[in-house]
Amino acid sequence: MKNLQPSIPPTEKKTKSELQAAVERLAPFHHAIDLPYGLSTYVPTASRQDRERTRMQNLIDHAWPSILSACGGSLAGKRVLDVACNCGGFSVHAARAGASYVLGIDIDPHYIEQANLVKEAVDLHNLDFQQLDLMELDPSKHGAFDLVLFFGILYHLENPVLSLKRISALASNVLAVDTTLMKVPIINRILDRWPMWHMRRVAGVDSAASNITTSRWRPEEFCQFSPNSRAVISLLEYSGFTDIERLKPTVTGLEKRYYNGRRATFIAIKNRGSYPGIRLAHRSR
């Protein structure tokens, strides 16, 4: 029988030394991603902060089992959106976990260049990266996503409420938010009863900055807002999510900020009917 498949030329694979040179040229990377030939995006000599080594594994250990469970136990056949994907570590993880399609978007072209190098090296065809401001995401163009990852971005936004409403319009079921929280010494427990946002003016960065692996899109002074836990829950409810849980850091070896309350991960669900077995701590409707 005649083969009707179009003949697709095999992708030119980089040799080990070519891949290593490309990784070194684009380093530092914010996520340590395993690459072919036993290579990694983590280049110790180029690293600016230890978080580049720990960030990805930390969040996977801490949050991934709960994310999977909120998605009904598996990502098979699911569409995943990774907002502010940076070099794409979580997108790759979702694609490797069997998602049917993963879209990672980031505002900064350098991070998308890193992500595309990773995509080419790991050879995953269910994965796409686009340079995009999250405010440009549009359900009529990009479709709906079963799972949206919203990691390390909420507290960077000048318009967090509007941004989350936009994101919610693309999220059909599960949203996972990992964020820095507002923390006021001693009285934090009292303040946590009310939804509050702490405003901070943050200096722009230049190429010598130690946080260049995540902040290079921000050359000018920036205004950002860190929420307390109640504000995150309230914002998620306002944006249309009905079942919300702040994950407890139950595993050992996470960055200190997850244990001292400066950082937390939330899982939020809407259209809960898809997974009636799921029970999250906070149920608004």
Query: Residue numbers of the site for ligand SAM (CB under 6 A)?
Result: 30, 55, 84-86, 105-108, 111, 133-134, 151-153, 156, 178, 214, 217
Task: Provide, rounded to whole angstroms, the least separation between the CB of residue 45 and ligand SAM.
Answer: 21
With respect to ligand SAM, which residue has the nearer C-beta, 202 or 278? 202
With respect to ligand SAM, which residue has the nearer C-beta, 211 or 274? 211
With respect to ligand SAM, which residue has the nearer C-beta, 172 or 214? 214
Task: Provide, rounded to whole angstroms, the least separation between the CB of residue 47 and ligand SAM.
Answer: 15
Q: Give every strand in the sheet of 171-180, ordered side by side.
A: 127-131, 101-106, 79-83, 145-151, 171-180, 263-269, 243-246, 282-283
Taken in order 189, 191, 196, 197, the sign of the CA dihedral is negative
Task: Provide, rounded to whole angstroms, the least separation between the CB of residue 60 and ligand SAM.
Answer: 11
Could you count the other beta carbons within 10 Å of the beta carbon of residue 86? Answer: 26
With respect to ligand SAM, which residue has the nearer C-beta, 30 or 119? 30
Residue 56 to residue 106: CA distance in whole angstroms: 17
Q: What backbone torsions phi and psi does residue 86 show, to the nearest 5 degrees? A: 55, -130
CB-closest chain residue to ligand SAM = 152
With respect to ligand SAM, which residue has the nearer C-beta, 162 or 184? 162
Task: Provide, rounded to whole angstroms, the least separation between the CB of residue 184 and ligand SAM.
Answer: 22
Query: First vs last Cα of the chain: how many Å apart?
Result: 57
Residue 205 to residue 158: CA distance in whole angstroms: 17
With respect to ligand SAM, which residue has the nearer C-beta, 26 or 192? 26
Task: Provide, rounded to whole angstroms, the least separation between the CB of residue 88 and ligand SAM.
Answer: 9
Collapsing DSSP to helix, strand or coil, 81 comes out as strand
Task: Provide, rounded to whole angstroms, the least separation between the CB of residue 52 and ligand SAM.
Answer: 10
Write b or e for each residue in 130-140: b if 16 or more Cβ atoms lie within 10 A of its Cβ, otherwise e: ebbebeebeee
